[in-house]
Amino acid sequence: MPNPLTPEITDFIQYLRLNEGLSENTLQAYQRDLKKTQLALGKTDLSQASREQLEDYLFQLHVDQVNPRSIARCLSALKRFYVFLILHNRIQLDPAAQLKAPQLIKKIPSVISENQVEALLNAPDLTTPLGVRDKAILELMYASGLRVSEVVNLPYEQLNLSAGLVQVVGKGNKERIVPIGQIAIEAIEAYLKSARPALVGKHKWVSTLFVSRIGRTMTRQTLWHRIKNLALQADIRSQLSPHGLRHAFATHLINHGADLRTVQLLLGHSDLSTTQIYTHVAKERLQSIHHQHHPRG
């Protein structure tokens, strides 16, 4: 592990002392922040850190409930440190240039359990075209983590069942390709075989994959209304948000060992700190299980 007080940190603090006129207290605080960051990075020298490593460290401070002002000061120290290294030709790229302090999370989304998801997925009546459609929608949403708006606007041609992939255009017109599992594929195939033709009826062509009872593109409100009714049928009494299956998708992935970067890509989040909220949810779930089942919980 590198010495937490590296030559670069020493030179940077000396530079500030001679050129910036900062108080000794501020200089000492900057030095402490940089030393702590270096210790957290382990074998990676602070001067060679990536943006992702710095993001992870700042968010961990947030998770540890470090005072927001202290996090802001640490971010300021890092930004000034890398500007110093750039100006003195010690590095070529600034990993802190686009770095932002993690946003305070006001509310952690409630997440339905895996058993509740199973009940919800089994709630549609498969003897009706609408039930077959709803089954396909629910299986796709839980398999892919798609937003409600992404599901209702999903073009028919952006689904590749043979490859088990769906191409999604999300927020900011950002495209991502998401894999779906065999169960979702089978549910969609069943929908395409009988239910969709029955719902489309006389309409020759509808561009979206999923259609309403009158054969038109579904609205977000219609889909959310269907999900709420199916949740009641499945006896799910906890508050289920429009993104309930998306939250469950992410949390259950993390509970089963998926890494944050992968979940970030699957969800289409531009900022990792948005994805990291699910580590909080997973942690609370684990603590709840421990308290409930451990003899000394």
Please list the active-site residues.
147, 171, 243, 246, 269, 278
Q: How many residues does the chain have?
A: 297
* 3-class DSSP assignment, residue 104: coil
How far is residue 251's CA from residue 284's CA, in Å, rounded to a whole number?
Answer: 11
Place of tokens 């000034």: 80
Two structure tokens written together for 120: 């919800």
How far is residue 25's CA from residue 9's CA, in Å, rounded to a whole number?
Answer: 16
Q: Three-state SS string across 236-283, please?
A: CCCCCCCCHHHHHHHHHHHHCCCCHHHHHHHHCCCCHHHHCHHHHHHH
| Region of 65 on the Ramachandran plot (φ > 0 left; ψ -120 to 50 alpha; else beta) | left
* 3-class DSSP assignment, residue 155: strand
How far is residue 254's CA from residue 111's CA, in Å, rounded to a whole number?
Answer: 13
Two structure tokens written together for 149: 């708006």
β strands within the chain, DSSP E: 159-160, 165-169, 175-179
> Torsions phi, psi of 169, nearest 5?
-105, 110
Two structure tokens written together for 50: 């990536």
Q: Which of 106, 107, 114, 126 is nearest to 245 (CA)?
A: 114
Judge contact between 180 and 137, C-beta under 8 A. Answer: no
> Do the bridges between strand 175-179 and strand 159-160 make them parallel or antiparallel, or are there none, so unpaired?
unpaired
